[in-house]
Chains A and B, each alone.
Chain A
Amino acid sequence: MSRLGNLGARLYRGEVGYDFIGKRRIWYGVSVLITITAIVGLAVSGLNMGIEFKGGAVFTTPKTSVSVDHAEEVASEASGHQAIVQKLGNGGLRIQITEVDTAKSDQIKDKLSEELSVPSEKIAADLVGPSWGEQIANKAWTGLGVFMVLVVIYLAIAFEWRMAVAALVALIHDITITVGVYALVGFEVTPGTVIGLLTILGYSLYDTVVVFDSLKEGTKGITKQTRWTYSDVANRSINSTLVRSINTTVVALLPVAGLLFIGGGVLGAGMLNDISLALFVGLAAGAYSSIFIATPLVADLKEREPQMKALKKRVLAKRAAASAKGEATEAEQADEDLTDTDDAAPAGAVVGQRQQPPRGHGRTSEKRR
């Protein structure tokens, strides 16, 4: 743990760090590849829509000794449609029949209770008309659209339009990947999945916003110095919030993991499982995209600004001059570089305050030594 703590400190000071911006093309490539895979998967295998979207019935029985095969037979016979039967963690059965009219389901239920010798009132039933799922899906799309518009407006006001665009790209990236995973693995899409997916919206942006916040802070007054380009500062922002990003993701994933474990392990299937699965995939994608996609994109967009171009020119010129000063002072230079890194790590985030003498550490500082 303390090693991780040290790593946090070293990241913070920029002693160690990963050049996220410099290697951005690699990660763009990776993302494009994943996204294309996701889209191809979506196009080829399509989504496995649950009965909530197709219409149909799900019956859940309490613990029973009836075999899955037998139950499948009975259910298919009673309904005249193909039935899918799963054994649940508690010994019960989950019987899923597509394309059953809500009106017909009572008959099927009675038949099931008779054949499986389970009292009818102990069988839970979930009947869904075909247009209901469509309605939920439509509302979800509306929600997605409204949310995206609002968020772009908000980010454009709170930050700037470039960040809004980058955040939006990251968001679409996350959703595409999550949906793609669903298509490729063939997980069933249920309203629970939709809930999970929509939650990712908030969470993915949440993560991105924190990085942007640090970036905005770090790049205040950036044009007034010649040591760092925008990209340099952006890179530091990512590195200095890396610990927080990791912690956030871990802390967000832990409860979801709990849900997934319980949903999958105890209940077998259902709402908990569906929500947590979508969340799990989406959160991972969200954490990745805010670091590897959103911030580098902002840097890319920013570097196109004339101001930033000019800054870059100045910075590069200065660096060239410094290196031209000769190899004689190399050792000194190296030392200088180290301190530079040290100082600029927070990239303005804290630099200002540093000039003030430290206050109120009489007792504490003694102990520290």
Chain B
Amino acid sequence: MAAPKKGRGAAGGQGKPGRALALILIVMAALTGGMFLAKQPTPRLGIDLAGGTSITLEAKAEPGQEKAVNKTNMDTAVEIMERRVNGLGVSEAEVQTQGTRNIIVNIPKGTNSAQARAQVGTTAKLYFRPVLTVTQGTPTPEPSASPSGKASGSPSPKASASASEKATDGDKAASPSSKPSASATTQGRAVTGALKADSSPSPKASESASAEDQAAAAKLQKQFQELDCSNKASRAKAAQGSKAGDTVVACGQDDNMKYVLGPAEVSGTEVKSAKAAFDQQRGMWIVQMEFTGKGSKQFQTITKKLSAQQEPQNQFAIALDGEVVSAPRVSEQLSGSAEISGSFQQDTAEALANQLSYGALPLSFKEQSVTTVTAALGGEQLRAGLIAGAIGLALVVIYLVAYYRGLAFIALLSLLVSGILSYTIMSLLGPAIGFALNLPAVCGAIVAIGITADSFIVYFERIRDEIREGRTLRPAVERGWPRARRTILVSDFVSFLAAAVLFVVTVGKVQGFAFTLGLTTLLDVVVVFFFTKPLMTIMARKKFFASGHPWSGLDPKRLGAKPPLRRSRRTNAPTEPKEA
């Protein structure tokens, strides 16, 4: 289409239309080449088109810590979630922040989305809790009596050593009550047996504990009894809803042990830093951590207390998300900084250090929406979107051809260029910024057909106006351009502004739409400036257009152009001449 230059346009237009055309062709070729080089011949598809699960989470700051929802914390949260999701063996899952307080987790089809949901949605909270009981993590009716026996023994020394409030909690934890009917009825023989075995509590506890407390204690006992750490659902259930002030049951994260843990003594937010280090002397990996001022005082208290205890109550559990990451023994009172040693490998030590650091995150997340799209439905939506686009494009083409005839050829080529640019850029943006084409984005692209076509309409109408004035095509093309250009810029700016505002303030689906709309609006300007206008200039030299062929869409007679004779009749123009 790029005709060789046959000399300058008479009306001093852009002198080098060929150059602009060559430029845009080079850009197109480069983008296409880049697309294939990057092995991204198609745009990445969003969950709603490819199938999969998309989870939207919203960060909730703890009361009094509203500032906690900031970029650093959100990024750390994304890191944790990524680790968790990938820990499930889910590949290609992506976790990204959106807006200021939302995180989107996209899990492609074919992976266990329910499990991922459970993992991702949970809160990253770290507590140091005293260990009250520890046992093998599978419920077995027979030996169940022994752990509970241990448990009932544990609270009393602790109660004497610590503040009274906590002691009560501790009592609650381990001292079972005289069988409350509510729990007894629903349980099988094994649990009832366990309760019976437990029914010799310390008298002090049963006296002080109210009926409610007893019920709570019984419930806890039942929970502990039923807790099966080899069962994922059971683990997840135990991990949920563990509150800092309660006595809780928990599973070990990596080992098959289950614990009864006292109320949290130190919160993970008090950990200032934690890192894995290799102890040269002992030849082993350790985790070093440092507490804040408040944390070190608390830690001092708990370690002093614990170091005086017997096994297993001399352990404190580091509980992350309701699971025990590690339960080191305490041999002496510790203060502001501590070392955790054990059978660490490099990776396990680093993992623990990470977890300790992440525990300092005061954010919890709430599931806002979960969308599961089957591959079949996704494919269907994609197909529907493409068909809709094709129909829309075909209708526009028919209308343009019918109305603008030969000019439609230029419009179509421009639309084509615009389409190729959008497609390649979207494909390349997949790996570059994680752009994924979703259904609203497809809608945005379809709507943009109208905006792009409108730029041509503005220009063509200008040219026709000039021809109506009696001008021939070449000057008309150049004279119409400055004013058409201004109109196109002004209106595209408004459209782009709308897209930009939408993109900045909204989240989720709306953002995808705004992105494509903004991108295509920008490309529209590029295409009109570097393709449509130069092409028009070149085409104006062609006989077909210049002679005003009836099918060119520029037939002066059809347009009702004035015969040039009349132009000299009137000179007192109503308004000043204007030139853009």
Contact = CB atoms under 8 A, between A and B. Distances in A.
Interface in B546-580: 546-548, 556-561, 564, 567, 569-571, 573-579
Using C-beta atoms within 8 Å of the partner chain, give the interface range for chain A.
35 or more
Contact of A209 (B396, B471, B494, B502): B494
Contact of B472 (A199, A256, A339, A360): A360
Interface string A268-280: 0011100110010
A142 B504 CA distance: 10
Given A9-B559, A122-B376, A202 B498 contact: yes
A9 B564 CA distance: 16
Interface stretch (B179-187, B318-326, B449-457): B449-457
Contact of A131 (B58, B440, B458): B58
Given A136-B508, A143-B505, A352 B498 contact: no
Interface in A112-160: 121-129, 131-132, 135-136, 139-140, 142-143, 146-147, 150-151, 154, 158
Interface of A: 1-2, 4-6, 8-10, 12-13, 52, 60, 62, 90, 102, 105-106, 121-129, 131-132, 135-136, 139-140, 142-143, 146-147, 150-151, 154, 158, 191-192, 194-195, 198-199, 201-203, 205-206, 209-210, 213-214, 217-222, 224-225, 227-228, 233, 240-241, 243-244, 247-248, 250-259, 261-263, 266-267, 270-272, 275-276, 279, 339, 343-344, 346-355, 358-361, 363-365, 367-368
A351 B443 contact: no
A361 B464 CA distance: 15
Contacts of B11: 359-360
B10 to A, nearest CB: 4
Closest 3 CB pairs of A and B: A352-B577, A348-B575, A255-B392
Contacts of B508: 136, 191
B539 to A, nearest CB: 14
Contacts, number: 343
B383 to A, nearest CB: 8
Given A102-B370, A243-B461, 17 more contacts: A9-B561, A126-B370, A143-B506, A191-B510, A195-B509, A198-B498, A205-B495, A254-B450, A262-B391, A263-B384, A272-B385, A351-B573, A352-B573, A354-B567, A364-B548, A367-B547, A368-B548
Given A244-B461, A254-B396, A343 B497 contact: no
B468 A124 contact: no
A343 B570 contact: yes
Contacts of B491: 206, 209-210, 213
A144 to B, nearest CB: 9
B443 A276 contact: yes
A12 B465 contact: yes
B367 A358 contact: no
A263 B388 contact: yes
B366 interface: yes
B395 A248 contact: no
A279 B448 CA distance: 12
Contacts of A266: 384, 387
Main SS at interface, chain B: helix
Contacts of B43: none
Report which residue of A122, A209, A247 has the largest number of chain B beta carbons within 10 angstroms of its beta carbon: A247
B402 interface: yes
Contacts of A8: 461, 464, 559-560
B497 A251 contact: no
A21 B569 CA distance: 29
A315 to B, nearest CB: 10
A89 to B, nearest CB: 9
Contacts of A349: 465, 483, 578
A111 to B, nearest CB: 15
B375 to A, nearest CB: 9
A113 B461 CA distance: 58
A111 B560 CA distance: 70
Main SS at interface, chain A: helix
Interface stretch (B142-150, B204-212, B473-481): B473-481
A352 B570 CA distance: 11
B388 A206 contact: no
Nearest to B368: A132
15 contacts: A2-B558, A60-B377, A105-B370, A140-B510, A154-B493, A199-B513, A199-B517, A205-B494, A209-B487, A210-B458, A224-B576, A247-B403, A259-B392, A272-B384, A358-B564
B558 A220 contact: no
Contacts of A217: 483, 578
B56 interface: yes
A248 B457 contact: yes
Contacts of A150: 497, 501
Report which residue of B11, B114, B385 has the largest number of chain A beta carbons within 10 angstroms of its beta carbon: B385
Report which residue of A5, A224, A225, A350 has the largest number of chain B beta carbons within 10 angstroms of its beta carbon: A350
Nearest to B518: A202
A311 B501 CA distance: 41
Nearest to A253: B450
Contacts of B454: 206, 247-248, 251-252
Contact of A129 (B366, B381, B403): B366
B392 A258 contact: yes
Contact of A279 (B48, B372, B447): B447
A124 B374 contact: yes
B469 interface: yes
Nearest to B397: A254
